[in-house]
């Protein structure tokens, strides 16, 4: 099918996955409202939201066979969008699967939890799809509003409310940066359409207004992807939020922000690379070094994983700054690996924590490997993958990012990434050492993890290992997804001042 935006009704087809998901979410709202059952609608709405995600995935698959006319429609129909949509939908489905146990245990078994999650996913899908600054801003708001509420979803827990408020204030602040940057770019280019801006804005002819817009956009996105020094809200928000939603925040929401980041900076402003690469270079360096050092002294496993997720944003920034096709392919590949391993790790953490999230210190994990071999083995696998050791997806993903950064002429970033990874081994392995080489102080009771949670963990583990052992097929898909999106441009110089020829 051909999509031609001169016929406005074609927007409906172009946005089919989003439409399907939002209609399902609205239907679920009605179901939740009219629910008559004795037990509350939470579980039923949760199961139905899985169906909704599956329907949206089917619509997304249908988009593969759709071609668009031109590259200036407000909604992009390209494989990049479809690939990232699958990541969002998969992450949301895994989050729903690991949520069932948690919400029942913590007494927040409400239908709204899943409905807000669906709205959040719609926002992300808009972020990946839109080729218009206004639509990107709308996507951000839709995603963030649902996320603020979900962060504060444990109403009786002061920590959760505090996290929600902090997240809301910082999120609103960063949205202001974003929208002001967009306004300046609109002033410089005369349009909000990224496809048109890409043709209008050429290197060598850059106005102060455009430079200001790019700087403000960089700051706004740095807040959203929690890059150092704009990361301070992250550990608090991640620690206070309900654990399954923390997993979702660390993976899908970050992926959504990165999707728009790449759509604007790499695809639309690819020709202006020399103007934005220096600031993002520093962001990437700081984001790789600082959180890895702070994570060394964390005792709370949720905070440890939060700092680890900030560090991973730094690795993804390296892929972004490369701004070539292998950089974007490695970004997509790493995003898949990062999503499954992080959700898996958080799933085990939420099982171990027990009622009211009591057991979250690292010393609570001592001896776990002998008393509860299965959860310990799974957590060890995910942590090894996060650390980037073979034979896991995390290793291959890091390897491809290193390759892309060297191809793009950033050997210094590759060296820093390798060193940051070395530092990170310490705190990932500390948990594993604690599980297998310490004796338990007070043995954990029998763990309660239902079939759905086990399924989610098994899927995460399988994908993590699969990406590590047979990476060529997913990498091929990632490469096909980004083909032709970036124009091959001549780089002026790399970070050492050496001219790089491409």
Partner 1 sequence: MQRHYIPVLILFALSLVNAVALVGLSHLVSTFRPTHVKKAAYESGIPALGDTRERFAVNYYVVAMLFLLFDVEVVFLFTWGAVFNRVGLFGYVAILLFLFVLVVGLLYEWKKGALEWD
Interacting residues with partner 1 (CB under 8 A): 8-9, 26, 29-30, 32-34
Q: Smallest gap, in angstroms, from Cβ of residue 190 to partner 1? A: 12
Q: Smallest gap, in angstroms, from Cβ of residue 188 to partner 1? A: 15
Q: Smallest gap, in angstroms, from Cβ of residue 45 to partner 1? A: 12
Nearer to partner 1, 143 or 288 (CB): 143
Taking Cα atoms as reference points, which of 284, 232, 324, 231 lies closest to residue 420?
A: 284
Give the pair of three-digit tokens for residue 246. 């923390």
Nearer to partner 1, 28 or 82 (CB): 28
Number of CB atoms found within 10 A of residue 177's CB: 20
Q: Smallest gap, in angstroms, from Cβ of residue 491 to partner 1? A: 37
Q: DSSP alpha helices (H): ranges in 354-437?
A: 368-371, 373-387, 393-407, 411-437
Nearer to partner 1, 122 or 266 (CB): 122
Nearer to partner 1, 33 or 497 (CB): 33
Nearer to partner 1, 34 or 297 (CB): 34
Give the pair of three-digit tokens for residue 419. 């060193």
Which own/partner pairs from 30-34 qualify as long-range (CB within 8 Å, at least 24 positions apart)?
A: 31/111, 32/111, 32/112, 32/115
Nearer to partner 1, 33 or 204 (CB): 33
Strand partners, 193: 132
Q: Smallest gap, in angstroms, from Cβ of residue 74 to partner 1? A: 14
Q: Smallest gap, in angstroms, from Cβ of residue 14 to partner 1? A: 14
Nearer to partner 1, 19 or 371 (CB): 19
Q: Smallest gap, in angstroms, from Cβ of residue 34 to partner 1? A: 6
Contact in structure between 299 and 362 (CB atoms under 8 Å) = yes
What DSSP state is assigned to residue 499? -
Burial class (CB in 10 A: 0-12, 13-18, 19+), 377: middle
Region for 173 from its dihedrals, namely left if φ exceeds 0, alpha if ψ lies in -120 to 50, beta otherwise:
alpha
Contact in structure between 155 and 107 (CB atoms under 8 Å) = no
Give the pair of three-digit tokens for residue 490. 């001549």
Enumerate residues 6+ apart whose C-beta is below 8 A from 442.
none
Nearer to partner 1, 208 or 497 (CB): 208
Q: Smallest gap, in angstroms, from Cβ of residue 210 to partner 1? A: 18
Which own/partner pairs from 8-11 qualify as long-range (CB within 8 Å, at least 24 positions apart)?
A: 11/74, 11/75
Q: Determine the Cα–Cα distance for residues 161 and 153; give it in Å rounded to an integer.
A: 8
Nearer to partner 1, 19 or 489 (CB): 19
Kindly give the pairing relationship between strand 67-68 and strand 2-3.
Answer: parallel
Taking Cα atoms as reference points, which of 310, 306, 290, 371 lies closest to residue 345?
A: 306
Contact in structure between 188 and 207 (CB atoms under 8 Å) = yes
Q: Smallest gap, in angstroms, from Cβ of residue 49 to partner 1? A: 15
Nearer to partner 1, 9 or 498 (CB): 9
Q: Smallest gap, in angstroms, from Cβ of residue 9 to partner 1? A: 7
């Amino acid at each position: 099918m051909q999509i031609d935006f001169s016929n406005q009704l074609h927007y409906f087809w172009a946005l089919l996955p989003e439409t399907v998901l939002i209609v399902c979410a609205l239907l679920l709202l009605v179901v939740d409202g009219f629910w008559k059952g004795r037990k509350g609608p939470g579980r039923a709405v949760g199961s139905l939201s899985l169906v909704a995600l599956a329907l949206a995935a089917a619509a997304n698959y249908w988009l593969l066979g759709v071609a668009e006319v031109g590259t200036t429609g407000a909604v992009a129909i390209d494989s990049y969008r479809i690939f990232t949509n699958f990541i969002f939908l998969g992450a949301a489905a895994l989050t729903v699967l690991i949520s069932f146990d948690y919400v029942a245990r913590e007494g927040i078994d409400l239908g709204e939890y899943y409905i807000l999650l669906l709205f959040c996913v719609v926002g992300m899908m808009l972020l990946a799809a839109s080729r218009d600054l206004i639509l990107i801003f709308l996507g951000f708001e839709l995603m963030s509003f649902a996320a603020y509420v979900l962060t504060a979803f444990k109403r009786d827990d002061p920590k959760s409310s505090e996290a929600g408020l902090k997240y809301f204030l910082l999120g609103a602040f960063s949205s202001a940066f974003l929208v002001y940057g967009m306004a300046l770019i609109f002033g410089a280019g005369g349009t909000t359409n990224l496809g048109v801006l890409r043709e209008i804005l050429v290197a060598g002819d850059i106005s102060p207004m455009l430079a200001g817009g790019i700087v403000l956009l960089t700051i706004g996105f740095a807040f959203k992807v929690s890059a150092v020094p704009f990361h301070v809200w992250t550990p608090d928000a991640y620690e206070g939020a309900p654990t399954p939603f923390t997993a979702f925040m660390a993976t899908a929401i970050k992926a959504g922000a990165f999707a728009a980041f790449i759509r604007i900076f790499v695809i639309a402003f690819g020709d202006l690379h020399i103007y934005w690469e220096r600031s993002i270079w520093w962001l990437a360096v700081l984001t790789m070094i600082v959180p890895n050092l702070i994570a060394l002294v964390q005792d709370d496993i949720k905070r440890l994983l939060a700092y680890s997720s900030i560090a991973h944003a730094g690795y993804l920034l390296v892929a972004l700054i490369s701004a070539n096709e292998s950089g974007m392919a490695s970004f997509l590949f790493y995003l898949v690996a990062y999503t499954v391993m992080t959700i898996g790790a958080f799933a085990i953490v939420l099982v171990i924590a027990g009622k009211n999230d009591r057991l979250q210190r690292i010393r609570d994990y001592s001896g776990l490997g002998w008393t509860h071999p299965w959860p310990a083995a799974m957590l060890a696998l995910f942590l090894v993958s996060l650390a980037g050791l073979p034979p896991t997806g995390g290793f291959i993903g890091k390897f491809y990012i290193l390759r892309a950064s060297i191809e793009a002429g950033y050997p210094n970033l590759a060296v820093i990434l390798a060193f940051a990874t070395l530092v990170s081994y310490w705190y990932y392995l500390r948990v594993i050492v604690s599980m297998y080489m310490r004796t338990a102080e007070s043995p954990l009771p029998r763990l309660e993890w239902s079939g759905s949670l086990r399924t989610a963990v098994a899927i995460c583990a399988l994908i993590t290992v699969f990406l590590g052992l047979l990476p060529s097929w997913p990498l091929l898909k990632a490469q096909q997804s980004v083909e032709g999106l970036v124009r091959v441009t001549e780089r002026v110089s790399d970070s050492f001042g050496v001219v790089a020829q491409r």
